[in-house]
Amino acid sequence: MKKWIKSLMIPVVATGIIVPTIAQAETNKNTSKDHHEWKHKGGHEGGEHYKNEYIENQEKNLVNLTGQYAPELKPAFNKVFAERKEIFNLYRKDPEVQKHFEQKRRAFKVKREEFKTTYKTQLDDIQNNVKKGKITKQEAMQQRFNLWKQFAGNDPEIQDKIENFKAHRELHFQLEKAIETKDRVKINSTLHQILKAEQSRNDYLKREINKIKNV
């Protein structure tokens, strides 16, 4: 059975947004099964809730993928995800940190609902065009990002979230294509980029926490 890369949107509670980073190599059969089990266990698309076990499994999948195509990066990925776990542990134990990020999450949720209402017609058109085969999923992603940029206006925080989200999605498409074409050089370079993005994500979370704690 043909293998492919499943895009997994890892909900990051601490940022209040969805940060897509993990690509999992598996069969088409297992894809729908895993997605169903995730939702059944309490996961919700949109990044509002997540299971620690689910996230940890996806991180392990990325580490395994790295071990197959870029083994020299495996220790670095393990280090990044170990640091991420420490950050999440701090989030869960510190009420002040929880309050800060929960406020940010709720504020962005309001913005997201406002966006969906404002551009409902355009978003429905994009989805229908994908179903009809008029545009690709990657083209649809770009069109949605264009709407988000229009919606964000001069709000620097939303603009930053959009650009980061777009960059991660593009890495996913890049990795998916490289694996499908068995381009090991491209796979290796993309994994290097993903590692850099994951470390940047940790650095962002630590900076936010330091601001809260006035470090």
Report phi then psi at 155, rounded to 5: -80, 105
pLDDT in tens, 177-202: 899 999 999 999 999 999 998 899 89
Using pLDDT thresholds of 50, 70 and 90, give the confidence band for residue 153.
Answer: confident
Identify the CA nearest to 197 among candidates 81, 85, 49. Answer: 81
Most confident of 37-51, 107-121, 201-215: 107-121
Angstrom CA distances, 171 to 1, 44, 47, stand at 25, 23, 19
The pTM for the full model equals 0.68
**Residue range of the domain that includes 108:** 3-213
30-34 mean pLDDT: 38
Tokens, residue 70: 């870029």
The length of the chain in residues reads: 215
Taking the C-alpha atoms of residue 45 and residue 61, their distance in angstroms, rounded to an integer, is 20
Residue 144: predicted pLDDT: 92
Domain total in the chain? 1
Cα angle at 128 between 125 and 129, to 5 degrees?
Answer: 85
Taking the C-alpha atoms of residue 205 and residue 152, their distance in angstroms, rounded to an integer, is 22
> CB count, 10 Å around CB of 175?
25
Instruction: Work out whether the CA dihedral 59, 4, 187, 160 comes out positive or negative.
Output: negative
Q: In this structure, are residues 18 and 11 in contact, taking their beta carbons and an 8 Å threshold?
A: yes
